[in-house]
Amino acid sequence: MESQPRSSLVTLPAAIIVAGALVAIAIIWVNKPAAAPTQNQNATGQPTIAQINMRPVTAADHILGNPNAPIKIVEFSDPSCPYCKLFNPTMEQIMSDYGPGGKVAWIYRHFPLDKPDQNGNILHKNAGHEAQAMECAASLGGNDKFWAFEKNWYNTIPENGAVDSTSTDQAMLLAVAKNSGLDQSAFSDCLSSGQFKNKVEADYTDGLNAGVSGTPFSVLITPSGTKIPLVGAQSYQTIKSAIDALLSQN
């Protein structure tokens, strides 16, 4: 997970531990009375289930898969984040396995780390602009083009893309737009207008309300509506284990 000011990756041993923990949490919380008390933070200082206060998933979201899927995974992502790039194929595989059967839906929300920290440093200076580019793709081509652009972007951006100059970043955005089948002139006009800046900021604020401090940060919404945080670039097996445990309860 990338945050301000430090970054970390989930190691394989840690992922195995997390997988077991997620399965246990999923099973316990699916059957736990809604009124049961919970603590505000877990042992790692990460937000617990009781803290996740994000807006509900609606048709206004960018949804891949069945909007009525019993399990939804809301990902807060930064398009300059190397760990988000690492995590993207994991989510693509999850959707390849569970999407066709309508079991899981993937919801993408923006959390660009382009805000100055307490020392005035900005981690990903281009991230907000890149997030707006994704919204431009959606406005020009609908949900299908949003996801085409999203996939092409994370496949294209290098791991050190966060340090790219503004001009390099702009050229890469235009190239991804072209490869995604978008009209480059209309895309460029949309991006330069800044018309989606407020929409991106609304997602960012929603992420803060959900307890996001770095990316990627995902929220697994169970069939009963319980929200389980998935912090960092979790492995495929970790997420699969949680999904399978939840589906087996229904």
Phi, psi of 40 (to 5 degrees): -80, -30
pLDDT of residue 2: 76
Encoding tokens for residue 70?
Answer: 């019993």
45 occurs within a structural domain: no
Task: Phi first, then psi: give them for residue 201, nearest 5 degrees.
Answer: -65, -35
Per the structure, the complete domain to which residue 200 belongs is given by 10-29+61-248
Is 44 inside any structural domain? no
- pTM of the model as a whole: 0.83
Residue with tokens 């998933």: 57
At residue 249, the pLDDT reads 86
The answer to whether position 25 is within a domain reads yes
Q: Is residue 225 part of a domain?
A: yes
Q: What are phi and psi of 125, to 5 degrees?
A: -65, -25
Asked, for residue 43, whether it belongs to a domain, the answer is no
Among 216, 194, 162, 222, residue whose Cα is nearest residue 28: 222
Residues present in the chain in total = 250
Q: In whole angstroms, how large is the CA radius of gyration of the chain?
A: 18
Q: What phi and psi values does residue 63 have, to the nearest 5 degrees?
A: -115, 130
Distance CA 216, CA 87 (A): 7
Q: Any residues with CB less than 8 A from the CB of 209 and at least 6 apart, and which?
A: 53, 54
CA distances from 176 to 137, 148, 242 (A): 10, 9, 33
Q: What is the pLDDT of residue 162?
A: 85
- Which helix (H) or strand (E) covers residue 194, if one does? none
Q: Which residues contact 124 (CB under 8 A, 6 or more apart)?
A: 78, 80, 81, 112, 113, 114, 162
CA proximity to 97, closest of 59, 65, 58, 75: 65
Kindly report the CATH number assigned to the domain that includes residue 99: 3.40.30.10
| Domain contains 65 | yes
Q: How many domains does the chain have?
A: 1
- Residue 72 is assigned to a structural domain of this protein: yes
Judged on CB neighbours under 10 Å (0-12, 13-18, 19+), 51 is: middle
Residues of the chain with pLDDT under 50: 5-20, 23-45, 50
In a domain, 92, yes or no: yes
- Ramachandran assignment for 221, one of left (phi > 0), alpha (psi -120 to 50 degrees), beta (any other): beta
Confirm if 196 and 39 have CB atoms less than 8 A apart.
Answer: no
Helix intervals (H) in the chain = 12-30, 82-98, 127-156, 166-179, 184-193, 197-210, 236-248
